[in-house]
Amino acid sequence: MKPLIRSIAVGAALFAVGAVMLERAKAGSDEFFPPVTDPLTRQECGSCHMAFPAGLLPARSWQKMMGELDNHFGDDASVDAATARQITTYLVAHAADSAGHGDMRRWLRRVPASAAPQRITELPKWVREHREVSPREWTRKEIASKVNCVACHVDAERGYFEDD
Amino acid sequence: MQTLSRFMFLAALTVMSVAQAAPRDDILAAYAAQAKAGDAAFAGVSAVRGEALHRDRHAGGKADSPSCTSCHGENTRAAGRTPVGKTIDPVAVSVAPTRYTDAAKVEKWFRRNCREVLGRECSAREKGDWLAFMITQ
């Protein structure tokens, strides 16, 4: 009985290590961006478009955006001050240049440190990854906008942006 | 036994839907009171006016959203879609019984959406009319 329990324990431990490594590998690639886990952010930032993973922009971008929600790409996305504070804290803590969430700095390649880009879809890396998408694709009716990541990346809500 | 548990389930459901209708009625009553306070001739909310507000194409707002139906769709019981492509749950109370029960949420979206469609905020009367229409849907 004992050896059986031990092998189960070893198996479980190996599995856990494997899961952690897999998570690391995903976080370090350009395919996986951990989805938004904060319920308030999901709700407030996920009704007009998907709640974009915080790792798609640097902290300074989120800070700027959260200060200008009353004119958010022409829309009024404003929320009360306490809500804005909580969302900002979450986004900044999980931003592309934050510590501890895998190394997403590669995603910010060629973004000057002085710039606070507001569009994910204008980051040099995003543009590069999408250079092979034909102009006709973008204007297809089901897609509506470049910002509609889910139209092409069916698992985007779960953080996956691999080719499909 | 089966009948009994079904009865209990239905009873619980009734209690629940009463609990959800109450805040919605309160929100509607508050808009009506506000409209009355601003206009002594106000004679109550109207689902007919609410439907017109919902379906008409308005000038003054954004070009890609001239009507509430631009996002919420022609059919109030079906899902809608934002210009960016995100699905919106139906707005008819019959299929979305939890809607219009959080006053702050209702106010927030009236403010945003009326500005998008009409280029201005909606009046208390317009908000009451629109809610009254959705309650009939």
B110: domain CATH number is 1.10.760.10
Residue A74 DSSP code: T
Distance from CA of B125 to the nearest CA of A (A): 22
SS3 content of chain A, % helix, strand, coil (to 5): 50, 0, 45
Cα distances (angstroms) measured from residue B46 to each of A63, A72, B24:
43, 33, 16
Closest to A148 (Cβ–Cβ): which among B85, B115, B116? B85
Number of C-beta neighbours around residue A140 at 10 A: 10
**B116 vs B13: which has the higher pLDDT:** B116
Residues of chain A with pLDDT under 50: 1, 14, 16-27
pLDDT reading at B19 higher than 90: no
Mean pLDDT on B56-67: 93
Sketch the domain layout of chain A as residue ranges.
1-30, 33-158
Residues in chain A closer than 8 A to B62 (CB atoms) = 74
Q: Could you tell me the residue range of the domain that residue B111 belongs to? A: 2-136
Residue type, B72: H
Closest to A144 (Cβ–Cβ): which among B85, B88, B115? B85
Number of domains present in the structure of chain B: 1
pLDDT digits (tens, 9 = 90+) for B97-132: 999 999 999 999 999 999 999 999 999 999 999 999
pLDDT of residue B15: 45
pLDDT of residue A103: 61
pLDDT of residue A10: 53
Interface mutation target, options A45, A76, A121, chain B, most CBs of B under 10 Å: A76
ipTM surpassing 0.85, yes or no? no
Point out the least confidently predicted range of A18-27, B38-47, B81-90: A18-27
Longest Cα separation, chain B: 61
Residues in chain A closer than 8 A to B85 (CB atoms) = 49, 142-145, 147-148, 150-151
